Structure 1
Amino acid sequence: MKKFAWIAGLILFLVLGVLFWWKFYFVFGEGVKAGSLNYFVKKGVVFKTWEGRMVQEGFQSPTSGALQSNEFRFSVTDPEVAAVLERNSGKHLELRYQEFNGMLPWRGTSEFVVTEVINVQESAETDGGTLPIDR
């Protein structure tokens, strides 16, 4: 009976370990998103994490008849990526990200973690250019 309890305990420990890994460390998806960086800040009470919002082109409608801007909320764990994002607020960015099944407090408040800034472009509002006007 004692041997059975040890084996059952070990199996339970391994199953819980695999479930924890799958929930918090398994990369569920990877991709690239593009848009204008709207908000980027380091905040937190116990764990200071980098959090950002990027506004993408177009609109989404969570409910019928309502429109809302398409916003991508993300976290950043790499200080070098955070430094690049801090310097490029308001610009059009292409970001590579990883999606996890769950969030961890020391990784940020989002399930999306940006791992790389692929491209930075000046937007029409920040480069001093003018938009064409039909007369």
Structure 2
Amino acid sequence: MRKFLFIVISIVVLGLAFFVYYKYYRVFGDGTKAGELNYFAKKGYVFKTYEGRVIQTGFKGRQMSQIQSNEFTFSVTSEKVAQQLLRSSGKQVELHYKEYLGALPWRGYSKFIVDSILSVTDPITLEKKVFE
């Protein structure tokens, strides 16, 4: 009986560990988004995380004569990337992100985690800065 209980508990623990890894730590997808950096701030009660929003314009609406804007909300875990974004408010940015199936409080409010900035363009001077 004791061996059976050990096997059942081991299976439950391994199943739970697999679920947590798959939902919160496995990268589901990655890609790039570009648009105007509308909002970027550090916030939170217990875990202070960087949160931002990029406005993507020019997408067709459901009706032929409509143009709608699309918002991309994201979190940032890297201090270096966060400092670059804090100086880029109102500029056109191209961001690389990783998508997870779930958000963790210490990683941010969003499933999308920006890990690098590909480029920043000032819309007034059209000066483009590319990051490596």
Provide TM-score, normalisation by structure 2.
0.88
The size of the alignment, in residue pairs, is 124
SS in 2 for 1:27: coil
SS in 2 for 1:4: helix
User: How well do the aligned residues superpose, as a CA RMSD in angstroms?
Assistant: 1.6
Aligned to 1:127: 125
Aligned to 1:89: 89
CA deviation string 1:89-132 (max 9, x = no partner): 11111100000000001111100000000111111xx328xxxx
- Letter paired with 1:72: F
User: Which protein shows a greater Rg?
Assistant: 1
- Letter paired with 2:90: G
* 1:1-135 alignment runs, 5 A limit: 1-59=1-59, 61=61, 68-123=68-123, 126-127=124-125
Unpaired segments ≥5 residues, structure 2? 127-132
Aligned-partner Cα distance in 2 for 1:18–1:122? 44
Percentage of matched positions with identical amino acids:
51
Unpaired segments ≥5 residues, structure 1? 129-135
CA deviation string 1:26-75 (max 9, x = no partner): 100000111110000000011100000001122365xx568642110000
- Letter paired with 1:69: S
